[in-house]
């Protein structure tokens, strides 16, 4: 009995190895240079159990190990992917032949991921065009100007918090404080919620946002399962991208929509989407090509948080560090803003958009900043994002 158990176990292991080998020979069987099956599994085992290096680190290694090749084959577990190295080929894919490469990968195959499937960054074809037509009018300069006062209020609160913090401590964890500031801005502009994360370290909104962006072994395993398992298995097991933190923000938006429908208005991102839905329901307007659903509004509001929280906080933290290391640039930027205040009386959305050196600082404009400055800019930005 014991011998037969070992035989069956060994057979299963051998079959799995053969299956993996065949799946990871897609590129080599077509004569395309590619990473080996062993390296492929090493990368994902490292991501699950060790996590001392981010995924992009292995992509960068693969890229540089294949000098002289225009492209190199890789795998997302068993799914073939291609790393393109040749700039001319990249240009052809992104411009000349873009109509063949315009589709994005699909996420949210589980039934629980209905809201996720409505996010602008995760949809394709006519669906994408429909949602894009809804979103574009909400990001015009006029609309941004409407929400400027909301951002300004949170900026004033940030300044007060920083001043108190400097009196209490000799150092400032800028990324942490900026993350709370960004959470307050997103909360008021996208969700219509007053979070007060800047002054309340235990605020639930900020905790849930951190959980949403956190990388864990469990999250990586979930991602692997969602990329490899069929829909029937995902639905049977209940595996989905819709995690508890995601559901938290989803419920917040749904409740806020109900309050807005009762007449509460704030002039924020959510109001702009609801106004568009009201315009669509107006009997005098023609039937819209893409009717706005509640799930569409919820999805874009949560997307606002996912793409804006960590990225904005990291950029602000780096810029602060960069200016502290370069007092002459800090003085120049301060003088530019003082000149604007002297001429216009205050900082407005329009004057900020027209401040050339401020724009150069955030965009790394090589005409205004020397090459070493730009190198340091992106180096320290990377260190901050990785929290090294």
Axis crossing angle, helix 174-186 with helix 294-325, rounded to the nearest 10: 150
pLDDT the model gives residue 288: 66
pLDDT the model gives residue 364: 63
Q: What distance in Å separates the CA atoms of residue 46 and residue 289, rounded to the nearest whole number?
A: 46
Q: Which tokens go with 273?
A: 């989407």
pTM for this entry: 0.69
pLDDT the model gives residue 73: 87
pLDDT the model gives residue 256: 82
DSSP, res 368: T
- Which residues are CB-contacts of 273 (< 8 A; sequence separation ≥ 6)? 134, 138, 292, 296, 297, 300, 301
Q: What distance in Å separates the CA atoms of residue 114 and residue 126, rounded to the nearest whole number?
A: 17
pLDDT the model gives residue 1: 53
Q: What distance in Å separates the CA atoms of residue 31 and residue 313, rounded to the nearest whole number?
A: 44
Backbone dihedral angles phi then psi of residue 84, each to the nearest 5 degrees: -95, 125
CB atoms within 10 A of CB 335: 11
pLDDT in tens, the chain (388 residues): 566 777 777 887 788 777 777 877 888 888 888 888 778 778 777 776 776 777 778 888 888 888 888 898 888 777 888 888 888 898 898 888 887 887 776 665 666 777 777 787 777 777 788 788 777 777 777 777 877 888 888 888 888 888 888 888 777 788 888 888 888 888 887 777 778 888 877 777 777 777 777 766 676 677 666 666 666 666 666 677 777 888 888 888 888 888 787 777 776 777 778 877 777 776 566 666 677 777 888 888 888 777 788 888 888 888 888 888 888 888 988 898 889 888 888 888 888 888 888 888 877 654 555 444 444 444 444 443 444 3
């Amino acid at each position: 009995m014991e011998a037969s158990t070992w035989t069956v176990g060994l057979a299963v292991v051998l079959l799995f190895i053969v299956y993996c080998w065949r799946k990871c020979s897609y590129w080599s069987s077509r004569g395309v240079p590619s990473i080996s099956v062993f390296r492929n599994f090493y990368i994902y085992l490292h991501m699950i159990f060790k996590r001392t290096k981010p995924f992009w680190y292995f992509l960068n290694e693969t890229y540089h190990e294949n000098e002289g090749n225009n492209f190199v084959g890789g795998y997302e577990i068993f799914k073939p992917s291609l790393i393109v190295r040749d700039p001319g080929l990249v240009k052809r894919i992104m411009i000349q032949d873009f109509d063949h490469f315009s589709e994005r990968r699909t996420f949210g195959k589980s039934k629980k991921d209905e809201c996720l499937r409505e996010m602008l960054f995760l949809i394709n074809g006519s669906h994408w065009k429909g949602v894009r037509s809804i979103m574009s009018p909400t990001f015009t300069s006029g609309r941004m100007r409407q929400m400027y006062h909301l951002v300004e209020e949170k900026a004033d609160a940030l300044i007060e918090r920083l001043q108190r913090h400097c009196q209490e401590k000799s150092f400032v964890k800028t990324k942490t404080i900026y993350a709370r500031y960004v959470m307050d801005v997103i909360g008021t502009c996208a969700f219509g919620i007053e979070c007060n994360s800047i002054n309340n370290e235990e605020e639930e909104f900020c905790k849930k946002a951190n959980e949403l962006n956190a990388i864990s072994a469990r999250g990586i395993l979930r991602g692997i399962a969602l990329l490899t398992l069929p829909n029937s298995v995902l639905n049977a097991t209940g595996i989905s991208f819709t995690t508890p933190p995601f559901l938290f923000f989803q419920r917040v938006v749904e409740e806020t929509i109900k309050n807005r429908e009762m007449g509460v208005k704030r002039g924020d991102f959510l109001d702009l989407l609801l106004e568009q839905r009201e315009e669509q329901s107006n009997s005098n307007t023609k039937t819209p090509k893409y009717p706005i659903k509640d799930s569409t509004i919820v999805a874009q509001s949560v997307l606002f948080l996912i793409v804006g929280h960590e990225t904005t906080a990291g950029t602000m933290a780096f810029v602060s560090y960069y200016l502290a290391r370069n007092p002459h640039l800090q003085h120049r930027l301060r003088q530019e803003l003082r000149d604007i205040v002297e001429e216009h009386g205050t900082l407005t959305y329009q004057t900020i958009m027209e401040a050339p050196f401020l724009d150069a600082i955030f965009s790394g404009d090589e005409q205004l900043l020397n090459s070493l400055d730009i190198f340091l800019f992106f180096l320290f930005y990377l260190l901050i994002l990785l929290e090294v």
